[in-house]
Chain A
Amino acid sequence: MGRTSAYFQADWFGPAVISVLAVLVIGLIDRAFISPAALDVLILAVALNGMIVLSQMVVIAIGQMNLSVGGIGGLAAISFAGLMQVQGLPPVAAAAIALLIGVAAGLFNGWLIATTGISAFVITLASLSLFKGINLGITSAQPFYEIPAVVKAFGSEALFDMLPFLSLPTIVIAFALMVLLTRMPLGRNILAVGANPGAVALTGVSLKWTVIAAHVISGFLAAAAGVMAVARLQIGLPTIGDDWLLLSFAAPVIGGAVLSGGHVSVGATLWGVAIVAIITQALVLFKIDPYLVQAVLGLLILWAVGINRWREVRARKGEGKL
């Protein structure tokens, strides 16, 4: 197989081409879309949404879903902001505790799913309500306002005036996940459990601990997204996370993830995030009627997913697999 063909068949290729073409075409129509300030907003959106989506992608890899991604992220966000405002903790300590909360929430989800055999859908649906309830119990639906300047700067400023600081955690985590899923036993076990749990069990790999590990990683990443959201929004709102669910599934699917598990791609998923962000921001710039925005967004996501699927089918036909 030639290098060109390999690129064409790579999961990330289709979403990457669509993203780049979309930016170029929209940029040609309206130069403002590719202004440095607009690209900065686009990168910020991809950075935050990327972390949210990677949190879901890890659980999709084992053939499950985590409906509580937003609940965990919201709880971590208000914990991070609340610990700084009420307890006076420095940002690093508050962030560490918020991330630990995410790990604990993921452990709770994973342990319940692995030990009870109840579906992840049901468990995480219930835990979503639990985490949100704790969030509201702590905040009484009131925001935390006293976000330290260093956190605000992290959420709004850029390294060498080029790369937003907020994108750094997402870049680091994306590389770590790529290494985990392609080079490390745990990552390979996660994908194997998603592809064929029965076969994995026969090899002596612990299904239980693999499922728990995937949910712990998911909880950690959701919490990281919550901390990043506080930096980005410069306020600890209790509604952080409420709007994450659709995006968290849309981007991995656009990136070619198999919802039944066993196949995900970090790169393709992040390009999927970029497609959603480009669509969202283009709709604003093109002054689409606000009543139609949701419908147009849904149609365009379907279109992008369709293109990706068409590319996949065509590639397989070329190989004679279909």
Chain B
Amino acid sequence: MFNHSAFRSILAAGVVAIASSGAIAALDTKVGIVPGGPHPYFSAWGPSGKDASRDFKLGAADYKVPAKWELGEQNLLLESMVSQGYNAFIIFPGDSVGSVSTVADLVGHGAQVIAAGGCFKDPSKALFCLGTDTGNSAYLGTKELLKVMKGSKRILHLTGFMVDPNTQLRIDGVRKAAQEGGGTVVQVIADIDAPEAAAEKIGAFMAARAGEIDGIIATAWVPAVQAANSLRKLGDKRIRMVAIDHDEVVIKAIKDGFVDGTMLQNPYGQAYVGAYALDRLRHGCTVKADAPWKSNALTARFIDSGTAYVDAAKAGNFVGAMQEITKGLLNSFEATYLNCKK
């Protein structure tokens, strides 16, 4: 079974050495880590905040989840956290445009804000956005899928919320890779982040159309889990699949041969490095204007938190892959993105 505590310990052990060398007493920094709503993708943010709090000697780095995926719920939570003394925020925007005014309010109260996992739409008061380059991850994942597909390359793409701007980037990334690799995206099934909808729609497709596809690329957590379960139920290893993220169901399906691999994102590193960066920014550092920022559809200040492909050979140590990504990001973060007085 996937053990969250063990996962946290192993991951933290790998980065703590680097962290301790740069840590300063920063007990006055209270970081609020707030996703857009409940979702298993963010489950690493809680332990990551605790580890950051310990390693960087922060006053707090607490993970708080809005009750629902609604902007109003997230705003209420953020307001209450400001009143409780939180002065730095890592936020997955409840709405990339609608949340911009919330960021301005938080900054008006003296807080530092960065986006993680997803970005605010420019212009905003957020200092930068630390997240997965979702389009590129979908592109690379599809490339991996095409490598393992034999003969015809008809692909089903499963993805998440249509209101998430990342979804279109993922659709474009998959299409681009398919075109380049001689494949065809025969269908996109989207808006299946709700588990019941995912089970029903994926089940309906597989029951009627399984013979018309040769591969599945899943670019959202819940569809990846449900598709892995569906392939296991069918028991048909003809259809190849590349998933996303590190849900236990997906990792086990990779080990058992029902799924070929998964594109890891780095939610742990987003919150861990984000908390570190916020603390440094609260203690005299500033964001480098001329840093090697990437850009996406929402912001021109994007930092890729990293991605890695994990197949059956690496599934037993996928934590190691995430560890490496986080280490690399933390190691170079200050020099690359911050101006700090020596």
Where the two chains meet, the residues of A that have a C-beta atom closer than 8 Å to any C-beta of B are 30, 32-33, 35, 37-38, 40-42, 44-45, 48-49, 129, 132-133, 136, 140-143, 145-146, 156, 229, 232-235, 237-240, 242-244, 277, 280-281, 284-285, 287, 290-291, 293-294
> Which of B35, B159, B204 has the most chain A CB atoms closer than 10 A to its own CB?
B204
Query: Which chain B residues in 151-197 approach chain A with CB under 8 Å?
Result: 159, 162, 186-191, 193-197
B199 on interface, CB distance cutoff 8 Å: yes
Contact partner, A32, options B68, B189, B208, Cβ 8 Å: B208
Would B65 and A140 count as touching, CB distance under 8 A? yes
- Complex: chain A residue closest to B226, CB-CB: A233
Would A141 and B42 count as touching, CB distance under 8 A? yes
Q: How many residues of B contact A (CB 8 A)?
A: 46
Would B43 and A140 count as touching, CB distance under 8 A? yes
Q: A232-B199, A293-B190 are in contact. List 15 more A-B contacts (CB 8 A).
A: A33-B208, A38-B208, A41-B207, A44-B203, A132-B68, A141-B40, A141-B43, A233-B199, A239-B194, A240-B195, A280-B204, A281-B201, A284-B205, A285-B209, A294-B162
B93 on interface, CB distance cutoff 8 Å: no
Known contacts A280-B200, A284-B189, A290-B188; is-contact A145 B1 (Cβ 8 Å): yes
Where the two chains meet, the residues of B that have a C-beta atom closer than 8 Å to any C-beta of A are 1-2, 4, 35, 38-40, 42-43, 46, 63, 65, 67-69, 159, 162, 186-191, 193-197, 199-201, 203-209, 222, 225-226, 229, 233, 247-249
CA distance A232 to B233 in the complex (A): 12
Shortest distance between the CB of B42 and any CB in chain A (Å): 6
CA distance A194 to B158 in the complex (A): 43
Q: Which residues of A contact B196 (CB under 8 A)?
A: 48-49, 229, 232-233, 240, 243-244
Would A156 and B38 count as touching, CB distance under 8 A? no
Q: Which residues of B contact A287 (CB under 8 A)?
A: 186-187
Q: Which residues of A contact B187 (CB under 8 A)?
A: 287
CA distance A287 to B205 in the complex (A): 10
Would B207 and A35 count as touching, CB distance under 8 A? yes
The 7 closest A-B pairs by CB, nearest first: A290-B190, A243-B194, A32-B208, A37-B207, A281-B204, A141-B38, A38-B207
Shortest distance between the CB of A287 and any CB in chain B (Å): 5
- Complex: chain A residue closest to B252, CB-CB: A145
CA distance A235 to B250 in the complex (A): 12
> Which of B4, B186, B203 has the most chain A CB atoms closer than 10 A to its own CB?
B203
Would A132 and B67 count as touching, CB distance under 8 A? yes
Would B200 and A45 count as touching, CB distance under 8 A? yes
- Complex: chain B residue closest to A293, CB-CB: B191
